[in-house]
Amino acid sequence: MEFFLSMVLAHVIADFILQSPQVAAGKCRGLPRAYLLHFGGHFIALALLTHPYFSPATVLLWFALPAAHLLLDWLKNHLFPPEHPADAFIFVLDQALHLLLIFAAWQWIDPPLCKPVASFYQSLLAPAGRSLLGGAAQFLLIAVIYGYVIFGGAVLVRKVLDLETLRLPEPAGKFGDTRQAGRYIGMFERALIITLTLTGAFTSIAFVFTAKSIARYKELENRDFAEYYLAGTLLSTLLAILGGLLLRAALAAA
């Protein structure tokens, strides 16, 4: 399971953290350089997180999995333009296919820890640190769900808010500056809510929602912005709560 979670975490890092908006836009335009940069990000993240399972098959996977990922991206970009009305649904479907691809790779190769590499890292750790290695699966699971909710959630919320019915009428004017700030506020908001859900502090979530609304009080007088804000906040909150509940259930079952 640790190997599978390592591959998923590498995907989250490469797709949502290492991939810049410029690279994503370049892929949509079919630029080879953008695809090469995305391949490099996936290769580096995958190699760093799975090198403790070093083997010839693992090295082959470092090249094969990013290549298959880029093939899926190329097909998506050629079949569906960036402004497709169902762009949010296409994003969810695309992520599901990537996870299915990772699962298939895990079924093909599930190598044991490479003893020399494991011994090297154990020699660097104190006894207390070595005991933490036994809970590696839980740490990886926490990182995967937090990563998907915080960073993947930012992409999904943006795609939903870019729907024609929700899009702000003045993207470059009065409300233009709120979008980038709102992205980072949403990321902190989801990180906080998923943590509160994980710890069972559900009543505190209302405080987060209220505090955010107070900060936007004057802007909420504009009906277009109020609808835009409410849709984004509710979706962001829903993703964080669902992620927290999923993580809580998974940790309880472990």
**pLDDT tens, position by position, 174-211:** 554 556 677 788 888 899 999 999 888 888 888 777 77
What is the largest distance, in Å, between two alpha-carbon atoms of the chain? 63
**Taking residues 157-178, what's their average pLDDT?**
65
Mean pLDDT across the chain: 83
**Taking residues 213-231, what's their average pLDDT?**
70
**Which of 26-30, 128-132, 246-250 has the weakest average pLDDT?**
128-132
Q: Report domain extents, the chain.
A: 2-124, 146-253
pLDDT at residue number 40: 93
Looking at the predicted structure, is the pLDDT value of residue 170 above 60? Answer: no
Say what the pTM is.
0.84
Contact call for residues 198 and 248 (beta carbons, < 8 A)? yes
pLDDT band at 88 (very low <50, low <70, confident <90, very high): confident
Q: What percent of the chain has pLDDT over 90?
A: 34
**Taking residues 127-152, what's their average pLDDT?**
78
Inter-helix orientation angle 153-161/176-198, to 10°: 140
Looking at the predicted structure, is the pLDDT value of residue 171 above 70? Answer: no
pLDDT at residue number 159: 86
pLDDT at residue number 134: 56
Looking at the predicted structure, is the pLDDT value of residue 173 above 50? Answer: no
**Taking residues 78-94, what's their average pLDDT?**
81
Residue among 219, 140, 153 at smallest CA distance from 184: 153
- HEC per residue, the chain: CHHHHHHHHHHHHHHHHCCCHHHHHHHHCCCHHHHHHHHHHHHHHHHHHHHHHCCHHHHHHHHHHHHHHHHHHHHHHHHCCCCCCCHHHHHHHHHHHHHHHHHHHHHHCCCCCCHHHHHHHHHHCCHHHHHHHHHHHHHHHHHHHHHHHHHHHHHHHHHHHCCCCCCCCCCCCCCHHHHHHHHHHHHHHHHHHHHHHHCCCCHHHHHHHHHHHHHCCCHHHCHHHHHHHHHHHHHHHHHHHHHHHHHHHHHHHC
Handedness of CA 126, 131, 137, 139 (dihedral sign): negative
pLDDT at residue number 60: 93
**pLDDT tens, position by position, 56-75:** 999 999 999 999 999 999 99
pLDDT band at 172 (very low <50, low <70, confident <90, very high): very low
Contact call for residues 73 and 41 (beta carbons, < 8 A)? no
pLDDT band at 97 (very low <50, low <70, confident <90, very high): very high
